[in-house]
Amino acid sequence: MNIWQNLPKGFTILAPMEGVTDVVFRQVIERAGRPDLFYTEFTNVTSYASDKGRHDALERLTVCKKDAPIIAQIWGKIPEHFALIARELEGLGFQGLDINMGCPDRHVNKAGGGAAMIRTPELAVACINEAKRNTNLPVSVKTRLGFTYVDEYKNWLPIVLRQQVANLTIHLRTRKEMSKVSAHFELIPEILKLRDEIAPETRLTINGDIINSRQIQELHQIYPGVDGFMIGRGVFVNPYCFTGRVPISQGGDISVRELMELFKYHLKCFDARKSELEAIGSRYPFEPLKRMFKIYINSFDGASDLRVKLMNCKNTDELRSVIDEFLMQE
């Protein structure tokens, strides 16, 4: 079954984000209001293929029942390693695999993966085709307009489209632009024309500067040919971004108490995952959790003081105590 063909027009996706979209965070967004499709965080195919890195790769590929449908996001530069992981992902509970050819991280690019694939199109084609030959799952690609120049899309995107991938997600910036300039929405008509001429069965998803469902509705009216929309950083502004609901601080109906209850659910999921990993000799460190505080603690009276107290906590029990004390004063 090709999951992409079963998604409704205008479908939504939570973007893969390193250190963010693991099995814990996906459960939080599922509770708040899930998109049509989840992606995992990035998994390196060469790590998966090695005895040393396989354990970490499998942790990144952990899914739960509530995740489905979910796509495994993978990256690398060795076609044989794409073949290996492609053969095994269906058995791990995935409905598709997506090859990242757009990540701008310099370490990933130095290793030849992510956006660096734009500069090695023959290798990119080989990786796509090895994945396709070795799985029954639909293979998709996430990329950018180009590495350095916007006009690179005119040569690069047709190369990917000719591989007849199930879905092509395009972050509407170059690697050089990162997120420093506005997404190039003006190029969508030209990109749609390329898709329709070269690979009309390939679904097209856009990414970049998309932050909530209202904006998605507006974009879908302007560009009805676009199949899907991916939200990344928007979840840090509003974890309910896929529902149309917004916090009171943004003029909506989501109370501070509701946000705090979602935060506490996040802590519950964190503790459960930590216990699972510690039982098999792995770690799930506490400090990275602090990066998530801004999702829940912002733009309301007392938010700054609350965040300071939370940042001084050393475990989830202390976090809950601070949250409960704050709610008692509400």
Eight-class DSSP state of 18: T
The catalytic position among 103, 127, 241, 269 is 103
Q: Which amino acid is at 289?
A: L
* Cα 156 to Cα 6, 21, 162, distances in angstroms: 27, 28, 10
Taking Cα atoms as reference points, which of 272, 264, 271, 241 lies closest to residue 327? 264
The owner of tokens 């009171």 is 248
Q: Which region, left, alpha or beta, applies to residue 229 given φ > 0 means left and ψ of -120 to 50 means alpha?
A: beta
Q: What is the CA radius of gyration of the chain?
A: 20
Tokens of 325: 């004390």
Eight-class DSSP state of 13: E
Taking Cα atoms as reference points, which of 142, 137, 153 lies closest to residue 13? 142
Q: Are 79 and 48 in contact (CB under 8 A)?
A: no
> How many other β-carbons are positioned within 10 Å of the β-carbon of residue 314?
9
Q: Which residues contact 286 (CB under 8 A, 6 or more apart)?
A: 314, 315, 316
The owner of tokens 């950083």 is 233
Q: Are 99 and 140 in contact (CB under 8 A)?
A: yes
Tokens of 129: 């085709």
Instruction: Please say if 103 is a catalytic residue.
Output: yes
Which amino acids are annotated catalytic?
Answer: 103
